[in-house]
Amino acid sequence: MLKNVFRKDIPQRKPITLKYASDKAILVDKPIESSPGFDPRVNYDEYEYLYNISEDAQAHLETITYLVIGAGFEFIGDEKGVEKCEEFAKLVGLHDILENDVLTHLIFGNAYNFIVADDNEFGFTLQVVHPKRVKIVTDKYGKIEYYWYDYNAAFVGEPKENERFDPENVLHFRFRQFADNIYGLSLLHNVYNKLSLKNKIEATAAAMAHRDAHRLLWAKVEISPEEEAINPKTGKPYAQEKIDAVNALLANRVRDNQDGTFTVSNNLVFDQSVELHDLSASHDFAGIAKILEHLQRQVDRALKVPKVFLGEPEGSNRATSYNQRRTFMLFIESIQRKFETEINRKLIPQITNADVRIKFNAPMREDYNDWVKQAVMLYQAGIVTTAEAREWVDLPPEPPAEE
Mean pLDDT by 10 residues, the chain (403 residues): 43 45 55 81 94 93 95 95 97 98 97 97 97 96 95 95 96 92 94 90 80 72 86 88 84 70 69 73 81 89 80 57 78 96 98 96 71 83 87 77 63
Indicate the length of the chain as a whole number.
403
pLDDT of residue 395: 80
The pTM for the full model equals 0.73
Cα separation, 171 vs 111, whole angstroms: 8
Give CA separation, 206 vs 30, 109, 201, 209, 287, in Å. Answer: 22, 33, 9, 5, 14
Cα separation, 361 vs 74, whole angstroms: 7
Cα separation, 147 vs 137, whole angstroms: 6
At 359, the amino acid letter reads K
Cα separation, 204 vs 5, whole angstroms: 57
Residue spans of the domains in the chain: they are 32-187+304-365, 216-279, 367-403
Cα separation, 344 vs 359, whole angstroms: 9
Neighbouring residues of 33: CB distance < 8 A, sequence distance ≥ 6: 39, 42, 43
pLDDT of residue 218: 75
Decide if 133 contacts 41 (C-beta within 8 A): no
